[in-house]
C-alpha cells in the first residue's frame, strides 16, 4: 500500500491518500479524519510514522504546524494533538520535512525562515545549537528557539523573527524571486538523521550539507555538477546509501553513508539520470525496487534496484502534484486499512 501527500489547496487533496500496490486508489483513500473537531489539513508535506504515531507537516503558511496522530488497533489514525505550530514556534513557517533521530527528537525544516528547528518528544524546542551560540555576539538571543541549522540570510520576508546572518556554507543558502528580495524562491528542503548527523538539502547551494547533531557544526557537503536543486532525501538501510532527489535535472543521485559519515566535500554519483520530471517523493519496497514521484507528470515511476532503464509507471493520473510517498508493507497494515 502507498501513502501519498499532495501539494494541496484543493479540498479533495488536503489529506494523505492511500493507494494499493497495483496503483488503484485504496478502499479508504483518505486515512486522516476530517471534521469540525479535526485540524485543517491544507497543504500537507512530509509525514513520518514513528511507532504507533504519525507526524504530519502542514505547510499552509498562515497555520503552519506539525500534527500528531495515533494509530488504533484496527489500523486507523486518530488526531492526537498539535505537536508544534507557528503560534508558539516563530521559526516554524511553511515547514517541509521532518527527521527523527531515534531518541525521540524531531527536526523540522521550514522554507520561509530557511532553518531547521529541533524538538524533544514533548514538542518543546531543543536548545539552540552550541555552534551557533558561539558565533552569536549576543549568545542565543538572536536565533529563534530550537534553531539547529540557520540561514545565511537571517531576516527573510514573511518571517516575523529576525535572526543573525550565518555565512555560507555553515548557513543555508537562499535565493529570491525578484531583485528586491520580496519573496523567497528557494531555500531549505529535505532533512534526514543518520549516525549522529543531520543531512540537510540546501536547494540554492546545490548541496546536501551534513551537520553534527551534538553541536550544529557543518561537517561535510555532498555536491557536484550532477546535483542541481536537491529536494528530498532517502536512506536505504539495505545498501547503506543516501539517495537525493535532484529536481534541477530530473535525476536521483546516491552516496554511501553506512560505514562513515561524509567529511569535507563528497561528490555523489548518478543513480537515475533525467527520467523523473520534477522529482519529489522517493521510496524502496521490500523487494528493493525504487520508486520516485514526478510532480509535474503527477505520477509515480518504479525502477529496478540498480536504477537502470527508463522506469515504468506504477501510479498515474494523480489528482494533484505528489509531494511525499511512503510504502507500507501488507504486514504493517492491520485489517487492510491504512
Backbone angles phi, psi at 281, to 5 degrees: -65, 150
Is cis: bond before 248, omega within 30 of 0?
no
pLDDT tier for residue 329 given thresholds of 50, 70 and 90:
confident
H/E run at residue 130: helix 130-135
pLDDT at 170: 97
pLDDT at 335: 38
Asked whether residue 25 is assigned to any structural domain, the reply reads no
Is residue 125 scored above 80 in pLDDT? yes
- Report which of 304, 292, 204 is spatially closest to residue 252, judged by C-alpha positions: 292
For 38, 177, 231, 278, the CA distances from 272, given in Å and listed in that order, are 40, 29, 15, 13
Asked whether residue 121 is assigned to any structural domain, the reply reads yes
Is residue 337 scored above 60 in pLDDT? no
Asked whether residue 335 is assigned to any structural domain, the reply reads no
Joined together, the cell numbers standing for residue 204 give: 540554492
Is residue 336 scored above 50 in pLDDT? no
pLDDT tier for residue 113 given thresholds of 50, 70 and 90:
very high
Asked whether residue 293 is assigned to any structural domain, the reply reads no
* Pairing mode of beta strands 175-176, 147-149: unpaired
- Report which of 273, 334, 285, 336 is spatially closest to residue 314, judged by C-alpha positions: 285
Residue-wise DSSP of 31-64: -S--STTSPP--SEEEEEEETTEEEEEE--TTS-
- pLDDT, tens digit, for every residue of 257-300? 988 888 899 999 999 999 999 999 999 999 999 999 999 999 99
- pLDDT, tens digit, for every residue of 6-37? 998 766 789 999 999 888 888 777 789 888 77
| β-bridge mates for residue 210, sequence order | 199, 220
Asked whether residue 196 is assigned to any structural domain, the reply reads yes
Give the total residue count for the chain.
338
Joined together, the cell numbers standing for residue 217 give: 557544526
Question: In a 3-state reduction of DSSP, which class is residue 13?
Answer: helix
Can you give the residue range of the structural domain that contains 252?
44-278+307-319
Asked whether residue 324 is assigned to any structural domain, the reply reads no
Joined together, the cell numbers standing for residue 320 give: 494533484
CATH number reported for the structural domain that contains residue 107 in this entry: 2.40.128.630
Is residue 331 scored above 70 in pLDDT? no
Cα separation of 33 and 305, whole Å?
35
* Number of separate domains in the chain: 1
Joined together, the cell numbers standing for residue 212 give: 553534527
Mean pLDDT, rounded, of the chain = 91
pLDDT at 334: 40
| β-bridge mates for residue 175, sequence order | 186
Asked whether residue 266 is assigned to any structural domain, the reply reads yes
pLDDT at 173: 97
Asked whether residue 147 is assigned to any structural domain, the reply reads yes
Cell 524571486 -> residue? 177
- pLDDT, tens digit, for every residue of 33-85? 888 778 999 999 999 999 999 999 999 978 999 999 999 998 789 999 999 99
pTM: 0.94
Amino acid at each position: 500500500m502507498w501513502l501519498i501527500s499532495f501539494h494541496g489547496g484543493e479540498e479533495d487533496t488536503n489529506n494523505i491518500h492511500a493507494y494499493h500496490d497495483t496503483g488503484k486508489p485504496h478502499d479508504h483513500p483518505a486515512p486522516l479524519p476530517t471534521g469540525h473537531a479535526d485540524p485543517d489539513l491544507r497543504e500537507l508535506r512530509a509525514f513520518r510514522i514513528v511507532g504507533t504515531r504519525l507526524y504530519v507537516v502542514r505547510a499552509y503558511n498562515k497555520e503552519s504546524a506539525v500534527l500528531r496522530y495515533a494509530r488504533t488497533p484496527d489500523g486507523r489514525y486518530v488526531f492526537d494533538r498539535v505537536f508544534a505550530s507557528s503560534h508558539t514556534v516563530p521559526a516554524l513557517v511553511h515547514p517541509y520535512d521532518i527527521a527523527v533521530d531515534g531518541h525521540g527528537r524531531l527536526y523540522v525544516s521550514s522554507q520561509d525562515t530557511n532553518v531547521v528547528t529541533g524538538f524533544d518528544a514533548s514538542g518543546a524546542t531543543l536548545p539552540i545549537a552550541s555552534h551557533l551560540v558561539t558565533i552569536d555576539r549576543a549568545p542565543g538571543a538572536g536565533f529563534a528557539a530550537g534553531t539547529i541549522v540557520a540561514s545565511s540570510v537571517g531576516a527573510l520576508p514573511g518571517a516575523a523573527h529576525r535572526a543573525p546572518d550565518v555565512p555560507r556554507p555553515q548557513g543555508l543558502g537562499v535565493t529570491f524571486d525578484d531583485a528586491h528580495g520580496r519573496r523567497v524562491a528557494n531555500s531549505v528542503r529535505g532533512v534526514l538523521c543518520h549516525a549522529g548527523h543531520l543531512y540537510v538539502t540546501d536547494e540554492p547551494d546545490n548541496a546536501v550539507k551534513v551537520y553534527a547533531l551534538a553541536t550544529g557544526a557543518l561537517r561535510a557537503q555532498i555536491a557536484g555538477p550532477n546535483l542541481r536543486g536537491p529536494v528530498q532525501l532517502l536512506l536505504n538501510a539495505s545498501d547503506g546509501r543516501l539517495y537525493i532527489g535532484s529536481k534541477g535535472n530530473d535525476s536521483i543521485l546516491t552516496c554511501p553513508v553506512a560505514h562513515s559519515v561524509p567529511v569535507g566535500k563528497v561528490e555523489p554519483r548518478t543513480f537515475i539520470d533525467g527520467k523523473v520530471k520534477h522529482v519529489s517523493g522517493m521510496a524502496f519496497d521490500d523487494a528493493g525496487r525504487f520508486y520516485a514521484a514526478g510532480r509535474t507528470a503527477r505520477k509515480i515511476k518504479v525502477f529496478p534496484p540498480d536504477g537502470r532503464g527508463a522506469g515504468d509507471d506504477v501510479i498515474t493520473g494523480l489528482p494533484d502534484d505528489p509531494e511525499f510517498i511512503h510504502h507500507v508493507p501488507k504486514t504493517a497494515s492491520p485489517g487492510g486499512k491504512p
